[in-house]
């Protein structure tokens, strides 16, 4: 029997309108906060202004860093960390999707030290400023896990890292903030949740705890992702997808991700206009085919929970029906895409395959089916 160590210290607040509690929560940690956010959405929706007022009313002085781009860069993170250090900030608040939240955690680490954030890939970070996450997408699970993903724009590398000190102290999950997500963001981030469930549930590091999170996340996702996409103003499916995102985020915190993530990170690392979930969509079907034989029972179990009828199908056919169902889901989300549709150049596939190993090797190790660089290259070619 495998030994297990399970740990997640994030205090989770879930509910419509709960952003209003952030002042009280923040005040427990500091009188000063750096808000780390993106360049557009939180300004346009008024959420950033609202947060500033909430913090000021609670006696917390906010400074805004709104320079985070989707697929954030080390440059952006180091710039924000410099501000936090220079101003003696006591708390980092990430506001937005996975990109600002990941950045907030990286800023919290980098602000404590005097080295560029990239160096924390080699050096273990032991301390970080406290972080509060206020999530605006339902996708990465960054709101509740310790991971941060950053891009080195000089090389295109996009590794993930995560140390114990990087867990957010508290996560505010307010589905009202998600109502403004445009359809393509709802689709891409929602499909990311599906892949987290799939990879944590089938990976070599799967266990009873992560599988429990995966199953509940999956139940929520199967009934709510397409609904959230088709009914953007309906808070119910938004709330259920927010729960699915957090549950799947807890699952990957425990059991990690697999080959789809290993390949996607260098895709959106080299092509920063590619949304992480869209990159996954282009890679998912071929990767599922590749993994089918290594974890057929898991495929069948997910197919069963999807409500797919067995009706005389052989094991292979039934397991394969999950791939068909996934294809249908991608079509319903307008995400039936290939790498070439995302602007990826064919002659870059070898570089992407190499970086999948160099920067996300642990995810390939965790994948149910073994893969070497040639197999990964083949998967990329088949997904092109
Ligand atoms: O540009 P801004 O103003 O930030 O607007 C964003 C962005 O353009 C917009 N948006 C977000 N919430 C919105 C909204 N627009 C309207 N209303 C809202 N409520 O959507 C765009 C995408 O946002 P982004 O934060 O980039 O997306 P996502 O949440 O998918 O995060 C992606 C990043 O997270 C990493 C990815 O690699 C990528 O860098 N990941 C982090 C993980 C983790 N921490 O565990 C795991 C994941 O597998 C993933 O790798
Ligand atoms: Mn992901």
Q: Any idea which architecture 11-178 has in CATH?
A: 3-Layer(aba) Sandwich (3.40)
Which sign, positive or negative, has the C-alpha torsion 41, 44, 49, 51? negative
Mean pLDDT by 10 residues, the chain (384 residues): 94 98 98 98 98 98 98 98 98 99 98 96 97 99 98 95 98 98 98 98 98 98 98 98 98 98 98 98 98 98 96 97 98 98 98 97 98 97 98
The CATH T-level fold of domain 183-382 is Dehydroquinate synthase-like, alpha domain (1.20.1090)
H or E segment and range at residue 362 = helix 349-366
The rounded Å distance from CA 313 to ligand 2 centre is 31
pLDDT given at position 231: 98
Q: Would you kindly state where each structural domain of the chain is located, as residue ranges?
A: 11-178, 183-382
Question: What pLDDT is recorded for position 189?
Answer: 99
pLDDT of the residue at 2 = 87
Question: In this predicted structure, what is the pLDDT of residue 145?
Answer: 98
Report the C-alpha gap between 118 and 133 in whole angstroms: 22
CA of 208 from ligand 2 middle (Å) equals: 21
CA dihedral 262, 241, 227, 324 (to 10 degrees): 30
- CA distances to 14, 145, 191, 244, 336 from 222, rounded to whole Å, are 20, 22, 11, 10, 18
Q: Which residues surround ligand 2, an ion (CB under 5 A)?
A: 192
* Counts for the chain of helices (H) and strands (E), in that order: 14, 8
The predicted structure's pLDDT at residue 1: 85
Scanning the structure block, which residue is given the tokens 């972080």?
A: 131
Atom of ligand 1 nearest to the CA of 177: 19
């Amino acid at each position: 029997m495998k030994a297990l160590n399970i740990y997640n210290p994030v205090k989770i607040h879930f509910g419509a309108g709960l952003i209003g509690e952030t002042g009280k929560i923040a005040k427990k940690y500091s009188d000063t906060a750096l808000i780390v956010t993106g360049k557009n959405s939180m300004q346009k929706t008024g959420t950033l202004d609202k947060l500033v007022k909430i913090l000021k009313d609670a006696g917390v002085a906010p400074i805004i860093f709104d320079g985070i781009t989707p697929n954030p860069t080390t440059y952006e993170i180091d710039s924000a960390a410099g501000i936090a250090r220079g101003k003696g900030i006591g708390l980092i608040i990430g506001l937005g999707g996975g990109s600002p939240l990941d950045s907030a955690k990286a800023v919290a680490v980098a602000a404590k030290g005097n080295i560029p954030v990239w160096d924390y890939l080699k050096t273990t970070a032991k301390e970080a400023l406290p972080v509060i996450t206020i999530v605006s997408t339902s996708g990465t699970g960054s709101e509740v896990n310790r991971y941060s993903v950053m891009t080195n724009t000089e090389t295109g590398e996009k590794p993930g890292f995560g140390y114990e000190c990087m867990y957010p102290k508290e996560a505010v999950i307010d589905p009202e903030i998600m109502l403004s997500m445009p359809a393509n963001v709802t689709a891409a981030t929602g499909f990311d949740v599906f892949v987290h469930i799939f990879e944590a549930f089938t990976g070599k590091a799967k266990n009873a705890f992560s599988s429990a999170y995966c199953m509940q996340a999956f139940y929520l996702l199967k009934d709510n992702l397409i609904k959230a996409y088709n009914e953007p103003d309906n808070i119910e499916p938004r709330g259920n997808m927010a729960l699915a995102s957090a549950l799947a985020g807890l699952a990957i915190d425990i059991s990690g991700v697999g080959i789809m993530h290993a390949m996607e990170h260098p895709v959106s690392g080299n092509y920063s206009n590619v949304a992480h979930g869209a990159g996954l969509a282009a890679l998912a079907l071929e990767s599922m085919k590749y993994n089918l034989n290594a974890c057929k029972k898991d495929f069948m179990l997910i197919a069963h929970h999807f409500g797919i009828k067995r009706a005389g199908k052989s094991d292979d056919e039934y397991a394969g029906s999950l791939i068909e169902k996934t294809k249908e889901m991608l079509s319903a989300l307008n995400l039936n895409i290939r790498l070439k549709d995302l602007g990826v150049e064919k002659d870059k596939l070898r570089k992407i395959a190499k970086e999948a190993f160099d920067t996300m090797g642990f995810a390939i190790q965790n994948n149910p089916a073994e893969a070497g660089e040639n197999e990964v290259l083949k998967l990329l070619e088949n997904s092109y």
